[in-house]
Amino acid sequence: MWIVIKYKAKEQNYLLKELKDKIGKDIKICVPKIKFDYFINNKKINNKKYLLGDYLLCYHDKFKEKKYLDMISFLRGLKYYLKDFISSQKEIKLFVNRCINFQNKEGFISQDFFDFKNSKEFKFFSGPFANMVFELIKKENKVKLKCLIGNFRLTVTGKDKLYFPV
């Protein structure tokens, strides 16, 4: 089960070590990071940032049991964990898989992670077409979307973004 943890930035390494000691070595940690370059006074500066700021995603089967969640509640470096993680498992798994798919050899998220223009297939995450995959035909403006689900053409309107790339 995936949990979302907010940690103290200076104590991240200590928290990760404590998690492995308390929960087990087979714990999975997802801390997506991006690498970017910029120039200052004609000098190229390499920088890295964590995509989620001071949050990380952590997976272990033991998190289904409350006693393990209570055990990690007082670890050094942990501010808190989000309590409503159980109802968000599906979305967390999708996000982690997307991060893994767009990682380069160095472990950084590539720019394609943020580029939805190259995607042709999307999936609705809410509404009457939830979890249905569709092919984007045309995006007319911010609120009108023409798509193809199987052999059916569909026009969807709405202010909220109800889909994400597959």
Domain that holds residue 58: 2-113
Cβ neighbours for 126, distance < 8 A, ≥ 6 positions apart: 162
| Of the candidates 54, 65, 56, 67, the residue with the CA atom closest to the CA atom of residue 92 | 56
Structure tokens at 106: 């160095």
* pLDDT score for 115: 63
DSSP 3-state percent helix, strand, coil across the chain (nearest 5): 25, 35, 35
Backbone angles phi, psi at 144, to 5 degrees: -125, 130
Question: Same domain, yes or no, for 144 and 76?
Answer: no
Residue 117 is predicted with a pLDDT of 61
Residues 107, 161 share a domain = no
Contacts of 67 (CB under 8 A, 6+ apart): none
pLDDT in tens, 12-50: 999 999 999 999 889 999 999 988 777 778 888 888 889
Model pTM score: 0.67
142: helix, strand or coil: coil
Q: For the segment 40-97, what is each residue's pLDDT rounded down to a tens digit?
A: 788 888 888 898 999 999 999 999 999 999 999 989 999 999 988 888 898 899 889 9
97 and 15 in one domain? yes
What distance in Å separates the CA atoms of residue 99 and residue 102, rounded to the nearest whole number?
5
> Looking at the 3D structure of the chain, how many domains does it have?
2
108 pLDDT higher than 80: yes
> pLDDT of 117-130, one tens digit each?
666 777 777 777 77
